[in-house]
């Protein structure tokens, strides 16, 4: 089965971040659309070199545009990627320098937490710029750590997809979870509460075994998690988890996880389709976090967040239905849906 598809191209602006005094080194990528200011979190990670960091920023920014589009948010896609210094550094000074860089963009980019950053880091950024979210919530307003909302959207997406794809609810379903950080661990707790069996893996062995003890999960090595006998594979670590080898060796019929940019290359979607494995695009199911960030930045309350997050699972159900009817990969169908939203927004712009 083939699914010919060519994604739309877009211009990405990369802002170089370099402040030797604080150790700040990285990029802010702004994915050019007409949806609004760029919004997306700040990732703080150890990259081999600057080109790796830049490439990751560009990929993540594109994903954020599509995520924001399908979630109905008035933002385009952006991402900050900061290289973690390989020597001692002053974390406060580094994030102050990042905050100054965000401020210089004058609202073109709104930042928040991502992998490697926290509410405390965003509070430091907020001392330098008002264009930041993921801060402790004020009375009556959305805010705080967005990861629980991300986990909720992924969990509810998995629930509806299990019914459609596996023909059953999550009771007794085996889920292999790759990565049990903030979002992955929250997802595991929700799955355990729903009666699922868990197999988990994480590069942090202590964290992994502590969660396994709490939930009665099985633990395997990071290099084994994608090939264990499981009904569902949930990538919740870094991107690129789904390469051709993984796609050819997966045992389950459903992929639903919180990690961004899960497909290592575009041809992986075709292999999954050919094998009858339903891949739920990450930016569709993991939109809960940016929904919370958006509501906080716009001054909305948690009720608005809950309503928008509750719409993720029905959107997933409609996506699966359309993909099956057309005999196409959900990845390609979702891209087209997002691009249509972007095109409609562009047409609404004054000439």
Q: Where are the beta strands (DSSP E) in the chain?
A: 12-19, 24-31, 38-39, 42-45, 76-83, 109-110, 174-178, 197-201, 218-219, 232-235, 254-255, 278-279
- Token duo for residue 4: 């010919």
Dihedrals φ, ψ of 286, to 5°? -100, 25
Measured distance CA(25)–CA(17) in Å, rounded: 5
Instruction: Give, rounded to a whole angstrom, the gap between the first and last alpha carbons of the chain.
Output: 42
How far is CA 229 from each of CA 224, 251, 302, rounded to the nearest angstrom? 10, 6, 38
The answer to whether the CB of 209 falls within 8 A of the CB of 186 is no
What residues contact residue 200 under an 8 Å CB cut-off, 6+ apart? 176, 177, 180, 184, 188, 208, 211, 212, 217, 218, 219, 220, 225
Residues 241 and 258 sit within 8 Å (Cβ to Cβ) = no
Alpha-carbon distance 222 to 201, whole Å? 5
Query: What number of H helices and E strands is found in the chain?
Result: 13, 12
Which burial class, exposed, middle or buried, applies to 6 when counting CB atoms under 10 A from its CB (0-12, 13-18, 19+)?
exposed
Nearest to 98 by CA among 132, 135, 53, 146: 132
Of the candidates 54, 67, 79, 253, the residue annotated as catalytic is 79
Note whether 113 and 145 are within 8 A (CB): yes
Active site residue 251: no
| Residues involved in catalysis | 79
């Amino acid at each position: 089965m083939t699914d010919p598809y060519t994604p739309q191209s877009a211009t990405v602006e990369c802002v170089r971040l370099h402040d030797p005094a604080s150790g700040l080194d990285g990029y802010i990528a702004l994915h050019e659309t007409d949806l609004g200011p760029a919004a997306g979190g700040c990732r703080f990670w150890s990259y081999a070199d600057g080109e790796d960091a830049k490439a990751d920023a560009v990929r993540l920014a594109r994903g954020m545009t599509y995520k924001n589009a399908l979630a109905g948010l008035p933002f385009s896609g952006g991402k900050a990627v900061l290289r973690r210094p390989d020597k001692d550094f002053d974390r406060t000074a580094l994030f102050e320098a990042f905050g100054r860089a965000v401020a210089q963009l004058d609202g073109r980019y709104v930042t928040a937490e991502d992998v490697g950053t926290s509410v405390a880091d965003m509070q430091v950024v907020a001392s330098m710029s008002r264009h930041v979210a993921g801060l402790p919530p004020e009375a009556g307003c959305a805010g705080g750590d967005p990861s629980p909302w991300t986990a909720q959207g992924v969990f509810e997406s998995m629930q509806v997809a299990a019914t459609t794809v596996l023909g059953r609810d999550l009771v007794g379903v085996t889920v292999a979870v790759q990565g049990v950080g903030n979002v992955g661990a929250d997802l595991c707790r929700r799955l355990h509460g729903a009666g699922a069996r868990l197999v988990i893996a994480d590069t942090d062995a202590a964290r992994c075994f502590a969660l396994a003890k709490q939930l009665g999960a099985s633990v395997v090595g990071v290099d084994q998690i994608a090939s264990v006998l499981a009904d569902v594979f949930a990538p919740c670590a870094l991107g690129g988890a789904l390469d051709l080898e993984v796609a050819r060796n997966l045992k389950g019929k459903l992929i639903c996880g919180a990690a961004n940019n899960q497909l290592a290359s575009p041809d992986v979607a075709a292999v999954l389709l050919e094998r009858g494995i339903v891949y739920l695009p990450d930016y569709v199911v993991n939109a809960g976090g940016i929904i919370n960030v958006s509501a906080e930045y716009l001054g909305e309350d948690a009720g608005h967040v809950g309503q928008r997050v509750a719409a993720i699972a029905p959107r997933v159900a409609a996506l699966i239905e359309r993909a099956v009817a057309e005999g196409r990969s959900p990845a390609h169908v979702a891209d087209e849906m997002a691009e249509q939203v972007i095109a409609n927004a562009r047409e609404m712009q004054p000439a």
